[in-house]
Chains A and B, each alone.
Chain A
Amino acid sequence: GQNIDQPTEMTATEGAIVQINCTYQTSGFNGLFWYQQHAGEAPTFLSYNVLDGLEEKGRFSSFLSRSKGYSYLLLKELQMKDSASYLCVLNQAGTALIFGKGTTLSVSS
């Protein structure tokens, strides 16, 4: 959506670390989601940040800075199956979720 900015495409190699950035503008912040979507499949929930800081879940971590309107998704020890689109999703007060255009990540061997 127009309130969310994330890179269109990124590439990385197996075993590497990649950081997908997301910036947003909002007047009423409730939280920020990250979803993963493989080609032709449904988006699946990865993480939800409400407070500032880093939340770690296995190989995936998500960071939020509310004052900067900034989040990132960090993927470690990349695997081929991590090739997908990663959606930054804003939970804005008074509206339904607002989806970013997504970042298509391609992992090569």
Chain B
Amino acid sequence: ETGVTQTPRHLVMGMTNKKSLKCEQHLGHNAMYWYKQSAKKPLELMFVYNFKEQTENNSVPSRFSPECPNSSHLFLHLHTLQPEDSALYLCASSQGGTPGLTETQYFGPGTRLLVL
């Protein structure tokens, strides 16, 4: 257990569905991240939130919409996804401050998403 939880762990959705992924961290951190991990590819950073403010959007399509209501919770709202969006979506948190400093990130277990 890393102190970062994600729900659901598995999700199957159609291309017209709307769903949300949830992440919660119990570490008292102030920065939270969404990553996408596809087979045979490195982790791809999607979004970064620092103190509830989005500081990075890594050219992610608008069908992915993040929400960070407070420093402990992070959501990823999904709408009209494509089959190529099927992947493992990982949430992480770190102490806070600017990404790129000496910050160890702690990851949740991920949501395995399949888009049909």
Bound together? yes
Residues of A within 8 A of B (CB): 1, 4, 30-31, 33, 40-45, 48, 50, 87, 91-97, 99-102
A42 with B100, Cβ < 8 A, contacts A1-B42, A99-B42, A102-B42 known: no
Given contacts A31-B102, A91-B102, contact A96 B33 (CB under 8 A): yes
Q: Which residues of B are at the interface with A, using a C-beta cutoff of 8 A?
A: 2, 4, 33, 40-43, 45, 48, 56, 58, 90, 99-110, 112
Main secondary structure on chain A at its contact with chain B?
A: loop
In the complex, which residues of chain A have a beta carbon less than 8 angstroms from the beta carbon of B102?
Answer: 30-31, 48, 50, 91
Given A30-B101, A30-B102, A43-B107; A96-B56 close (CB under 8 Å)? yes
Complex Cα spacing A101 to B41, Å: 6
**What residues of chain A lie closer than 8 Å to B45, measured between beta carbons?**
96-97
Q: Assuming A41-B110, A102-B42, what are 5 further A-B pairs, CB within 8 angstroms? A: A4-B42, A42-B110, A50-B102, A95-B100, A100-B42
The answer to whether A91 and B42 have CB atoms under 8 Å apart is: no
A96–B37 alpha-carbon span in the complex (Å): 16
Given A30-B101, A96-B99, A97-B105; A44-B2 close (CB under 8 Å): yes
Contact A45 B106 (CB under 8 A): yes
C-alpha spacing A36/B5, complex, angstroms = 18
